[in-house]
Amino acid sequence: MNNLLHQQFTEHLSLTHDNSEAEAITSLVFENVFKSRDKKLWRQPDLLQKYFAQLQHYFYRLSSNEPLQHILGKVFFLNCTIKVNKNVLIPRPETEELTAIAIKRINKKNNIKLIDVCSGSGCIAIAIAKKFTPSQIYGLEKSEQALEVAQQNATINQVKINWILDDIFKFDSDQQFDYIISNPPYVKESEKANIEHHVLQFEPHVALFVSDDRPLIFYEQIKKLADKNLNKQGVIFLEVNTELAEAVKNIFHPIYTTEILNDMFGKPRFVIAQL
User: Following DSSP, what letter does each residue of 168-201 receive, concatenated?
Assistant: TTT------EEEEEE----EEGGGGGGS-HHHHH
The predicted pLDDT at position 3 comes to: 54
Residue 231 placed within a domain: yes
214: Cα within 13 Å, side-chain hemisphere: 5
| pLDDT of 110 | 79
- Indicate if 163 and 37 belong to the same structural domain: no
- Bond into 204 cis (ω within 30): no
Whether 136 and 233 map to the same domain: the answer is: yes
Same domain, residue pair 120 and 164: yes
Tell me the average confidence (pLDDT) per consecutive run of 10 residues in the chain, 275 residues long. Answer: 75 84 90 91 90 91 90 94 97 97 89 97 98 96 98 98 98 97 97 90 95 97 98 97 98 96 97 96
Shared domain for 32 and 104, answered yes or no, is: no
pTM for the whole structure: 0.92
Task: For residues 230 and 165, state if they share a domain.
Answer: yes
Distance CA 203, CA 66 (A): 10
Pairing verdict, β 230-239 and 177-182: parallel
Provide the domain limits for residue 209.
Answer: 85-274
Report yes or no on 75 lying in a domain: no
Report the DSSP beta bridge partners of residue 163. 139
